[in-house]
Structures are given as C-alpha cells and as structure tokens.
A and B are shown apart, each in its own frame.
Chain A
Amino acid sequence: MRRGAWVVGLIIPAGLAIVWEIAVRAGLAPGRLMPPPSRLFQTAWALARSGELQTHVVATMARVLLGFAIGAAAGTLLGMLNGASAWAMRLLDPSIQALRAIPSIAWVPLFILWLGIFETSKLALIALGVFFPVYLGILSAIRSVDRKLIEVGRVFGLSRTGIALRITWPAVMPTWIASLRTGLGLGFMFVVAAELMGASEGLGYLLLDGQQMGRADSILVAMIIFAVLGKISDGVLVALSRPVLRWQDTNRIRL
C-alpha cells in the first residue's frame, strides 16, 4: 500500500460528519436524536472537564482488564493442561464444552444471585466471556503442533518439558495471541452487558443514563470512547506481542 493511502478510508466517515453538521446547522434536520459532531465534542469536553468521563473510563477499563486477566489466565492454564494430558482432556473438556453451549449472558441472573450486584458478578461475566476463546484457541493450537518439529526436539535430546517449552510453546504463541485478541474484544462486549445490568459508574452506565435521560449525545460519546478504548487495547496487545512474533510473515501480524 502506498504511504498515505489510508486517508481514502476517512472519506466516508468524515464526509458524513460534515454533511450532518451542515444539515443540522442549516435547520434541515432536528439533530435531537442524532446530534451533530460539534455537539458530541461539547458533551465529551464537558464530561472530561467535570472529571466524570475519567471516572467512567477508569471504572470500565479496570473491569475489562481484571476480568480479561482472570479469564485469559484460566483459559490458558486449562487449555495447556488439556493439551498436555489426554486424560485431563477426557475428564474436563466435555464439561467445558457443555458450559460453552450456554450463552454467556444467560449467566447474569445467577451471577447476581450468587455474587451480588456489585463488582464480583461483573468480573465473573467478563472473565467467562474471555475464557472460552482463549481456552479453545490454545487447546486447538497445542493439538495441531507439527509432529515433525516435536521429532526434531526428540532427536536432539529434549525432555518432555524441554519439548513443551522450546517447541510447543513457541509454536502455539501466534494462535494464543490471536485468541487473546478475540478474548479482549469479547471482554469489551461483556463489560457493556455487565454495566447495563446495573452500575453507578462506567461507560455502560453512561449509555444507560443517556437512554433514560433521552440524551443521545452522551450515548454516542460513550460508544465512540468504547471504540477508541477497544482499538487502543488491541493495539497495545499487538505491540506487546510483536517481539515474540517477529519470525512470522509480517502481513499476518498486521491483520
């Protein structure tokens, strides 16, 4: 791609924003349910000045990151266990697959009943959403490691642990990181669900509040900030993983 060619992608969103701004200012459209860009900037600015926006962002990000950490760690550990041991696989995988068949949001009432309406139930929901893609990703990656490379490890005298650390783990790494990215995306999805079911702070709360107060501008601001946060988190994950994935074709990393 030529340098600067990405600008083409801005034509539609920027064009629509400008047209809408003009339409509302010229009185051609009311702009109450779909506020123009300038209104959104004002709302965001006001929220930021009062410090309210930072509170919401911090609350949401803390939930996403903590839930993600718990879910990703559990998914990785169980995936590794079941990938390493056929016996553990036979014992555990059917139950995990059965739980996976339940749509994660369906757990909400039970989590609230068990864990209360505050942070714990929210974290549980997010961790659960993150768990499944990470578990499935690492498990299938371990099971599809090239047997021929394992044989190289055996011929050159690696122990079982040595093979796991020096062959299986690096071979699994790309799929594992891809599954973490999927998991992180789902983490953002489930934080919205968790905050919509009742929260006093967080971007999901801002969404709900905007709906109840009839303020489309704060709903849209919250949505845009979700998009920005999601993109930034994914970018950080990709940047962190880049050094260990340097050996791959670069076009695969840029996906």
Chain B
Amino acid sequence: MTQLVVKGIGKTYADGTEALRGVDIHVGTGEIVAILGGSGCGKTTLLRLIAGLDRASTGTIAVDGVALNGTHAAISAVFQEPRLLPWLTTEANIAFGGRRLAAAERQARAASLLARVGLAGHGARWPRELSGGQQQRIAIARALIGHPGVLLLDEPFSALDPFTRTSLHDLLLDLWRELRPTVVMVTHDIEEAVVLADRIVVMRPHPGRVQETLPVDLPRPRDRLAPAFDLTKRNVLRAINRSLAEAPSGHGAAAGGGVSPWV
C-alpha cells in the first residue's frame, strides 16, 4: 500500500537537452496511472527517475513520504523488452526479483507466480525458448514477486501483437486486483491507457511537461466496445491534439507537418 509523489521533477542531460520540466504527479495507493505521450515527451525518462536508474536535476520523488535516493525496495519495474537473464531458467528469473525474500518464500512464490501467469510447467525452460509474450509474462511475475508497493511499467506491451497484448492487459488487471500495487505505466497506446488506468496523464514534449490529467470513470471490467469507452478515448485524443497544438513550432514539423500522429 504505497503512495507515490512526484514533485517539481526536471531533468536536463549533460549535453544541455532538457527532457523534463516541473513535472508533478500524485499517485494514490493502489491506483493505476497511465502516462501517455509521443516520443520525446520524456515519459520513459520520468519512469527511469522514479525507478532510481537516473537522477533528477530538480525536484523530489517520494514513496509514502520518504524521498527516494536511488533504487528502492518498494519499487519494481517491467521494461519495454522482457530483459530476462538468459542464463537463468524462467522460474529462476522470477525468483531473481525476490532477492529480498527468504529463500523458502522466494521459491514458493516463484512457483505460484509461474502458474499465475499461465506458464506452469515451463519453469525449467530457458528464456530464449519462450515467445515474446511469454517472456513478458515472466517479467511481470519477476516484478511482482517481491511485494512491490509501486510497479513501474515502461511500454511493456508495445512490442506484442494485439491478441497477446489484450491477454496481457487482462493478466495485469487480474494480478493488480489480487496484489493491489500502485501502478505507473508509460504508454503511447490510447486504448491501452483507457483499458487499464484510473487516471491518464497526458504529457507534451520539448521539454516534457504534464499537459493535463484525465480521470477514467469507467467501471471495471471495461468493455472496449462500449460507447462510453469510445468517448473516453476521444477525450484523450483531444487532450493530445491540444498538447501538439501548444508544442513549439519546431515540433510540429517533427511530428509530420503538424498532423497529429494519433489520427
């Protein structure tokens, strides 16, 4: 049960590129927040700062009121690529995420999570023997084994086909209902954001800033075909178009002559 507060975060790289400026995001306990934006809006940078993989230039990130300094036991992550360790079996990869647990609990939880993500019986296989979707299932299990308070997801389904992606959305929601981690997910897929998130933070580029925050007031489980679902998607799309309209002129050209890449 963990609250995440991102306050006044800015990031300027050594070469002078300003990736983020004054980002404030408040994520409540057990909430799912999707950060939506095109390339160059700093959404992955923001996630790396929360994960403790990079240092912010300004601002603070706090978990339950304690400011973070580097990586943190309460925060775990699933990356865009599965990033499994190729020399560990799938079950050992899951166990790898639970290094802070006692050995017996780690083994038991790895086995049960393996079954939970639908790969019972595949525990002794090598990562290379699994499909991309299966590997990402293992990565999700690895991220959840250590009872994280905050789960970070960096476009984890973007490389998968729509069928696999949809089944992984369902899996993620099932696990979230069961374990209730606070989730921050970065995505460029509007539908994915509307399916999963309680709130959607739309970002705008150059430098990355929060454009606006939209609540998703749809009951779960969400029906992708319901009119209300479409309405929410359209609201998000409008917010994105506003973010592009207000972006500096140089960016319009980069995004394809001012035409929104989303339509």
Contact = CB atoms under 8 A, between A and B. Distances in A.
A151 B142 CA distance: 14
Given A151-B53, A247-B126, A157 B71 contact: yes
Interface string A233-255: 00000000000001111000000
A114 interface: no
Given A148-B79, A247-B126, A249-B128, A155 B85 contact: no
A149 interface: yes
Contact of B83 (A152, A157, A247, A248): A152
Contacts of A249: 128
Contacts of B87: 170-171, 173, 247
B149 interface: no
Interface size, B (range) = 20 to 34
B144 to A, nearest CB: 12
Interface stretch (B93-101, B155-163, B210-218): B93-101
B71 A149 contact: no
A166 B92 CA distance: 12
A156 B81 contact: no
A44 interface: no
A247 B83 CA distance: 15
Interface in A145-202: 148-149, 151-152, 154-158, 166-167, 170-171, 173
A156 B97 contact: yes
Nearest to B78: A155
A154 B81 contact: no
Nearest to B127: A247
A154 B52 contact: yes
8 contacts: A148-B79, A148-B83, A152-B96, A156-B96, A158-B99, A171-B87, A173-B87, A248-B86
Given A152-B85, A157-B99, A246-B126, 11 more contacts: A149-B85, A152-B83, A155-B53, A155-B71, A156-B96, A156-B99, A156-B142, A157-B73, A157-B100, A166-B96, A173-B87
